[in-house]
Amino acid sequence: MKLSKRLQTLADLVAFDTVCDIGTDHGFLPVYLAESGKAKKIAACDISPASLKKAEVAAARARVSSVVETRLGAGLSVVVPFEFETCVIAGIGGRLLCEILSSDMPVSATFRQLLLSPHTDVPFVRKFLFESNFKITNEKLVFEDGKWYNVLVCQPQTEKLGKPTEADLLFGAFRSAGFFDFVSANLQKTLAVIDSIEKNSAAYVPELHNYVRACESVLRERNRNDTFRPDT
């Protein structure tokens, strides 16, 4: 099965062979993991019976129904502690994602790896992860269909984490491929919003201007790197 760029990035990051995919939708990721042999036990979970039916059909067509099990239910309610090593939650809003993790923390804290790809409120997710003692060990960016997607790789910690900087919450601590293009695109989008607001109402929105300054600060980091890059 051929995956989208975002799902392929998630699949490539899976580190363990027991996986639950929360909000699986069509079940493409679980089917791919089973077909490729990357996972031997997979739960495709969703609150929608219609979505699970599509996942079951996809698994049957790929002849991996013995590896991919579908489970109907909300969030992590269909998973028990220590049942799976990797948990994938992708394609939903950041606040809902955090609600799913926090509502079943006895389960969330037993995964060895969390792969998270929220569509919105990524800084909110990073803050939640820090406050809940989940360490972000890597981040990837995927540009697909004209939009940037964040992929966060996390794991629960027993020791208290060091406090992240404001920049780490806004942009993450990793400089993966496409990072500066992502920040630049967000900067231009925010400047356009500010221009529209100030033209129509002359209002000054401090949060937006603060975000612009944060973007500019990060982009100066790229300029410094370019300046000091040795000749090849």
| pLDDT attached to residue 231 | 41
Domain range holding 44?
Answer: 5-162
Percent of the chain topping pLDDT 70:
96
Cα Rg, the chain, nearest whole Å: 20
In a domain, residue 167? The reply is no
Which of 162, 192, 211 marks a domain boundary? Answer: 162
Is residue 230 over pLDDT 90?
Answer: no
Q: Are residues 37 and 64 in the same domain?
A: yes
| pLDDT attached to residue 226 | 61
Q: Are residues 36 and 129 in the same domain?
A: yes
Buried b (16+ CB within 10 A) or exposed e, 113-127: bbbbbbeebbbbbbb
* pLDDT band (50, 70, 90) for residue 215: very high
In a domain, residue 147? The reply is yes
Number of domains in the chain: 2
Q: Are residues 17 and 91 in the same domain?
A: yes
CA max distance for the chain: 61
Q: How far is CA 27 from the centre of its chain?
A: 17
In a domain, residue 149? The reply is yes
In a domain, residue 59? The reply is yes
| pLDDT attached to residue 48 | 96
Is residue 227 over pLDDT 50?
Answer: no
Q: Are residues 49 and 102 in the same domain?
A: yes
For residues 21-40, average pLDDT:
97
Is residue 186 over pLDDT 50?
Answer: yes
Is residue 50 over pLDDT 80?
Answer: yes
CA distances from residue 177 to 139, 181, 209 in whole angstroms, order as listed: 10, 9, 26
Nearest to 139 by CA among 166, 177, 189: 177
- The whole-model pTM stands at 0.92
Q: Are residues 138 and 188 in the same domain?
A: no
In a domain, residue 98? The reply is yes
What are the residues whose beta carbons fall under 8 Å from the beta carbon of 50, sequence distance 6 or more?
Answer: none
